[in-house]
Amino acid sequence: MSHTRLNGDISIPEFFRGKSIFITGGSGFIGRVLIEKLLRSCPDLKNIYMIIRPKKGRSIEERIRDLTEVPLFDELRKQNGNFLDKIIPVNGDITKLNLGISEEDRKCLIENVSIIFHSAASVRFDDHLKDAIFTNVRSTREVITLASEMKSLEVFVHVSTLYANADNQILEEKLYPRYDWREAIALAENCDERLIEVMTQKIIHPLPNTYTFTKSVAELLVDDLCRNKFPTVIIRPSIVAPSILEPVVGWIDNFNGPMALNVAAAKGVLKTLYCDEDVNLDYVHVDNLVKAMLVASWKMATEKQTQEVLICNATSDLFFPTSFYHRMQNLIGENPSETYIWPSHFMFTNCSYMFLLINMIYQVIPAIFLDGLLWIFGQKMRLFEMARIWNYSLMGMVVYLMISKYNLPMKIYEMIYSYIENVDC
218 occurs within a structural domain: yes
1 occurs within a structural domain: no
pTM for the predicted model, two decimal places: 0.80
> 381 and 336, same structural domain?
no
pLDDT value at residue 381: 55
> 190 and 62, same structural domain?
yes
> 80 and 55, same structural domain?
yes
7 occurs within a structural domain: no
Q: Domain boundary residue among 341, 370, 399?
A: 370
pLDDT value at residue 371: 43
> 292 and 148, same structural domain?
yes
287 occurs within a structural domain: yes
Q: Which domain holds residue 384?
A: 377-424
pLDDT value at residue 406: 67
pLDDT value at residue 305: 46
pLDDT value at residue 425: 54
> 389 and 244, same structural domain?
no
SS3 per-residue string spanning 114-171? EEEEECCCCCCCCCCHHHHHHHHHHHHHHHHHHHHHCCCCCEEEEECCHHHHCCCCCC
87 occurs within a structural domain: yes
> 228 and 115, same structural domain?
yes
> 416 and 388, same structural domain?
yes
> 22 and 43, same structural domain?
yes
Contacts of 339 (CB under 8 A, 6+ apart): 1, 2, 3
Q: What is the dihedral of CA 338, 37, 290, 142, to 10 degrees?
A: -130
Q: What whole-number distance in Å separates Cα of residue 291 and Cα of residue 33?
A: 10
* Contact present, 94 and 85 (Cβ < 8 Å): no
* Contact present, 76 and 113 (Cβ < 8 Å): no
> 390 and 259, same structural domain?
no
CA nearest neighbour of 114 among 84, 141, 159, 147 = 147
Q: Bridge-partner residues for 311, per DSSP?
A: 234
Q: Indicate the number of domains in the chain.
A: 2
pLDDT value at residue 357: 62
Overall residue count recorded for the chain in this entry? 425
Distance of CA 134 to the CA centre of its chain: 18
> 402 and 343, same structural domain?
no
Task: Output the domain CATH number for residue 106.
Answer: 3.40.50.720
6 occurs within a structural domain: no
Q: Domain boundary residue among 370, 385, 406?
A: 370
CA nearest neighbour of 254 among 268, 269, 238, 239 = 239
> 180 and 60, same structural domain?
yes
Q: What whole-number distance in Å separates Cα of residue 376 and Cα of residue 364?
A: 10
* Contact present, 311 and 173 (Cβ < 8 Å): yes
Q: What is the dihedral of CA 362, 367, 369, 375, to 10 degrees?
A: 30
Q: Which helix H or strand E contains 86, and what residues bound it? A: none
5 occurs within a structural domain: no
Long-range pairs of 224-227 with CB within 8 A, sequence gap ≥ 24? 224/181, 225/141, 225/144, 225/145, 225/148, 226/144, 226/147, 226/156, 226/307, 226/309, 227/307, 227/308, 227/309
* Contact present, 16 and 42 (Cβ < 8 Å): yes
User: From first to last of its 425 residues, what are the pLDDT tens digits of the chain?
Assistant: 334 444 556 889 999 999 999 999 999 999 999 999 999 999 999 999 999 999 999 999 999 999 999 999 999 999 999 999 999 999 999 999 999 999 999 999 999 999 999 999 998 999 999 999 999 999 999 999 999 999 999 999 999 999 999 898 888 889 999 999 999 999 999 999 999 999 999 999 999 999 999 999 999 999 999 999 999 999 999 889 888 888 988 888 877 767 777 777 766 677 777 877 777 777 888 998 999 999 999 989 987 545 678 787 776 544 555 566 666 666 655 443 344 443 433 344 455 556 666 666 655 555 445 444 444 455 555 556 666 777 778 888 877 776 776 676 777 777 787 777 776 55
> 240 and 354, same structural domain?
yes
307 occurs within a structural domain: yes
Contacts of 115 (CB under 8 A, 6+ apart): 16, 19, 20, 21, 22, 153, 154, 155, 156, 157, 297, 301
